[in-house]
Amino acid sequence: VLSILSDLKKGGEEYFDGIQLMWPLPPQLDATKLYNAIDQRQDVDGAHYMGQCELGPSSAKTTALPPVTPAAVMDLLDEYSIDVRDKRVLVVGRSRIVGSPLAYMLRDNNAIVTVVHSDVSYENLEREVRASDIVISCAGEPNLLKAEWLSPEAEVINVGTTFWNDKLVSDFDESDLSQYAKRYSPVPGGIGPLSVASLFKNVAKAAWNRMEENSSY
């Protein structure tokens, strides 16, 4: 796989505009090496985004395509006019393809962002959920979060999903969410379809960038 990606990086820009690695990857494959083998201009998954963010916000906005799932979350917030400015937003999960870039995007929109992860104690997790206006769960662990922890006006965006007992479920028990959350995105049918739309946006953007680059010569 690494050899194929390296060959594509050398001369594939004339034939396609985007490369996406399908998850989950087999355990014997090194995700970091594979993503590094993808030309940033064709990285429609947005794996290079966090590296650009760490160099500074201006470079992140002008050169790297955004990760599709965090971009989908931001689109959902925008569609329903949910202003995160000065809101306490809890991101559950810190992966470099979902949780970390999502936290960056939320901070860039002036949210008060807290990130929790697998090493956070159950007690601290409950405390952070109770203190949050918006909870965005990206963990992929069924029943990790209890709906009864939510504050009365809290809104929930379910990102993390898992096949559990032959059913696709979120990190919350959704039967409880309907009783406790002001609004929440369903599983399935919530962020998933929006992520697909974000992927195609990235492919279109990559194609546009390539055409602009070629026309400048």
Instruction: Give helix then strand counts, H and E, for the chain.
Output: 9, 7
Tell me which residue has tokens 């990790």.
144
Round to whole Å and give the CA distance between 194 and 196.
5
Q: pTM surpassing 0.95?
A: no
Instruction: For Cα atoms 84, 122, 134, give the angle at the middle one, nearest 5 degrees.
Output: 10
What pLDDT, in 10s, does the model give residues 2-42?
888 877 777 655 678 899 888 778 889 898 888 888 888 89
What pLDDT, in 10s, does the model give residues 93-137?
999 889 999 999 999 999 999 999 888 999 999 999 999 999 999
Contact 144, 137 (CB under 8 A): yes
